[in-house]
Structures are given as C-alpha cells and as structure tokens.
C-alpha cells in the first residue's frame, strides 16, 4: 500500500469516527459532580452515545454540542498525520483506534474542564493492551515494557504535581497521564520527555497569552488535558518519524 493511499484511508477512518463523537461530547460535558447529560437543551431524552448531537423532538431538529464537521475534520487530520508518521508499521492501528478518544477528551475538557473517568482509565488500559498485541506483530518499532514503565512514571509524576498544587491540576489529568505515558513510552524515554515538555510548554504559552490579553488572571486554572494530549501527539509524531 502506498503512503498516499494509507494516509487517505486513515483520514477517511478519522472522519467517520469523528462524525460519531458529538453526542458523546455533549453527554460527557457535564460539570464536575453532576451526572452525564441525559436530556437535550429542550428537555427531551438523549438516546445512545454515538452520532450527531441533534434532537428530532425539538422544533426544527435542534442541534446541540460540538458540530459534526468540526469533530470529523479534527479527527481526520489527526489520523492522517499519524499515518504519515507511522507508515505501515503495526502500531498505526493502535494510534488510529485511540485518536478519536483523544479528540473526544479534548473537546470535553475544553467545554467543562473535566476528563471523564469512563474515558481516561479505559484509554490507558486499551493503549497498553493494544500495544501489547502490536508488539507481537513483526516490523513494529516500539518496546512494550518501556510503554508500561512510562505510563506508570508519567502517572506518578502528575500525581506528585497534583499533590503539590491540587488547585492548578485536576486528578483527571493524572489518570490521563497514564495513557499518554503508554503511547509515548512505546517509542522510548526520549519521546516521553519530548511529549511531556511539549505539553507543559504549550499549556504555559496558552496561559500566559490569556494573561497578557487580560482574559484571565495568573491564578486562574486552565483545562490542561488538551495540552497533555497535544504534547503527546507531537511527541508521538516525532517518535514515529524517528523510529
């Protein structure tokens, strides 16, 4: 399979998977301490978790939550970039399966500053399990034991940061760090450090930009999940290209 065809196929997969995310994003976008949303803004029951965020009982078929085009486009671009970096190595299948979850977590955290346990913890377990299977396939370019140790190390590191400053970082970030450590660790410790640094750097730049434009104060907490995921994505691309 040529690289162009592979990238196109990955983009199509991402678009299809991303188109299913809006309803889940809406339902998971409940403030901390509240139950997942079960009603549309008009008060009608929302059935299922996947698909468009549109209520047929509301007048005019009211839409809610993130737009389908946005989630589909974002997921397609992420999957295409991962395919370009990983090529035909077996771990690409793992990245393509995990990418929609990363996009979903990013959307939810940006909307309500919450990283749902039903997404973060299974993401970590799925990453390690799928990478374990990829390690059994010839031509893979990673190391599963390092992925396991990196998951534990990054999770422990974020746990310490949470203990030191619980107001500046949510415990959901600690759980998310387990999964991000696993995917970064697949390509080695240098990729773990690169992805972690990229996440902190992008988060710091975003925070200071908000301070400079006076949209927030120095002590105001920002959703860090998107930067943790974005840093891992950047590290993963570089690690995959270098492997």
Rg (CA), the chain: 18
How many domains would you assign to the chain? 1
pTM score of the predicted model: 0.93
CA–CA–CA angle 151, 186, 100 (5° rounding): 80
Residue 162 near residue 169, CB atoms below 8 Å? yes
Q: Euclidean distance between the first and final Cα of the chain, in Å?
A: 19
* pLDDT in single tens digits along all 243 residues of the chain: 688 999 999 999 999 999 999 999 999 999 888 899 999 888 889 989 999 988 888 877 788 888 899 999 999 999 999 999 999 999 999 999 999 999 999 999 999 999 999 999 999 999 999 999 999 999 999 999 999 999 999 999 999 999 988 777 889 999 999 999 999 999 999 999 999 999 999 988 887 887 777 665 555 667 899 999 999 999 999 999 998
Rounded (to 5) percent helix, strand, coil in the chain: 65, 0, 30
Q: Which domain does 236 fall in, by range?
A: 3-242
């Amino acid at each position: 399979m040529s690289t162009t065809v592979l990238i196109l196929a990955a983009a199509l997969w991402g678009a299809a998977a991303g188109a299913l995310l809006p309803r889940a994003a809406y339902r998971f976008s409940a403030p901390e301490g509240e139950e997942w949303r079960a009603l549309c803004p008009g008060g009608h029951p929302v059935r299922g978790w996947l698909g468009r965020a549109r209520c047929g009982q509301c007048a005019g078929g009211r839409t809610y939550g993130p737009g389908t085009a946005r989630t589909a486009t974002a997921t397609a671009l992420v999957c295409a970039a991962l395919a370009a970096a990983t090529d035909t190595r077996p771990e690409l299948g793992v990245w393509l399966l995990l990418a929609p979850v990363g996009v979903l977590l990013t959307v939810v955290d940006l909307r309500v500053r919450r990283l749902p346990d039903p997404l973060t913890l299974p993401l970590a377990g799925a990453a390690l399990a799928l990478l374990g299977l990829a390690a059994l396939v010839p031509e893979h370019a990673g190391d599963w034991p390092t992925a396991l140790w990196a998951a534990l190390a990054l999770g422990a590191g974020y746990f310490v940061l949470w203990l030191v400053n619980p107001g500046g970082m949510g415990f959901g970030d600690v759980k998310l760090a387990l999964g991000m450590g696993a995917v970064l660790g697949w390509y080695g410790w240098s990729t773990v450090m690169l992805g972690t640094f990229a996440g902190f750097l992008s988060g710091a730049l975003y925070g200071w930009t908000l301070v400079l434009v006076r949209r927030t104060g120095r002590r105001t907490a920002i959703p860090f999940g998107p930067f943790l995921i974005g840093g891992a994505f950047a590290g993963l691309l570089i690690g995959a290209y270098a492997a």
